[in-house]
Structures are given as structure tokens and as C-alpha cells.
Amino acid sequence: MNQKTMDILWAPWRMEFIKKKKSRGCFLCEMIKGKNTEFLIWKGKYSIVVMNAYPYNNGHLMIAPIKHTKDINHISEKEVQEIFSALKECVQILKKVMKPDGFNVGINLGKCAGAGLLGHIHIHIVPRWNGDTNFMPVISATKVIPQSLEQLSIILKKNFSNYKEDR
């Protein structure tokens, strides 16, 4: 019998997440309330910018309204303006800090569209580099993130420190 050998990717930092007590609430709302703010990059009057704790690529950010809603039609024009202004700032800062070749920007509305957090609408900003789909994900179904989230969080917070949404 021909058996495939098991691939092992050593990631000891994941043990903290595995052992951590899971919240039943909305993690975005918890950040807004001042809990678990390690990856909260910026908070405005109507929206927040957070790092994705399970990034597709290094620098994967999310923008969400402070209002907990799953319906895009329940976001006011002021919220839309601040969210889009924050989107522009995210792209500008990521270009400066990470020098990507492009971006994927999107919103998943509903479970069938890929939304992992169904109750709180958010926009994904994913930096992309030419060749970032290399042999690791193609051959071994493994994605390599070359920088710790904590390290990148410090850099992004520093770059967002002068951002004012009402420019």
C-alpha cells in the first residue's frame, strides 16, 4: 500500500490560540469596547481598522463600521465616507510599509459568499506581490507568512498614529 507521508509545519505560536477561551460574541465589537485590542490598528468615530488574525497574506487588514450590522444598507453616508477614507489610508500605508505590487479589496456578504463573520460587515484589504502564490501553497497547500502579526501590528499602528479621518 502506497501511503503519503505526513507533512508537518511547526507553528508553536498557535498553541496560545488553541488554549485561549473562545468568545461567543463579535470579536470586532469586543475590540470596539476596548477588549482584545492587540490587532486594533485604528479607531475612528464610525469605523475601525484591524489586522486579520488569520491573514491570507501578511498585512491583511479589515475595516468595519463601529455599528454592528450585517446589512450594507444599514450603513449611513457618514459611515461610508469614513470607511472609504480609511480604505484609502490603509492602501497608502500598506504601500509605504510593505511595498506590495497590488491589492485584493472586497466584502463577503453572506455565508455563501465566504463571510466568516456573518453579523458584522467588514472590508478586506489584502496586499499582493508578484509571485506570492509560489510553490508552498501550490504544491504543499501551505501558506508562509514571513512576519509576526505582533511585529507588523506595531509598525502599522505607528503609521496610523497621525491619521485623522476628517482630512
Q: Which amino acids are annotated catalytic? A: 122
Please give the distance of CA 55 from its chain centroid, rounded to a whole number: 6
Pick from 66, 43, 65: which is nearest to 123 by CA? 65
Q: Which residue has the cell 505582533?
A: 150
Could you tell me if 61 and 125 are in contact, meaning their C-beta atoms sit under 8 angstroms apart? yes
52 labeled part of a ligand binding site:
yes
68 labeled part of a ligand binding site:
no
Give 80-122 as a DSSP string: HHHHHHHHHHHHHHHHHHH--SEEEEE---SGGGT-SSSSS--
**Residue 145, all three cell numbers:** 507568512
Cβ contacts of residue 74 below 8 Å, gap of 6+?
Answer: 67
CA–CA gap between residue 50 and residue 63 (Å, rounded): 6
Residues in the annotated binding site for substrate? 52, 124
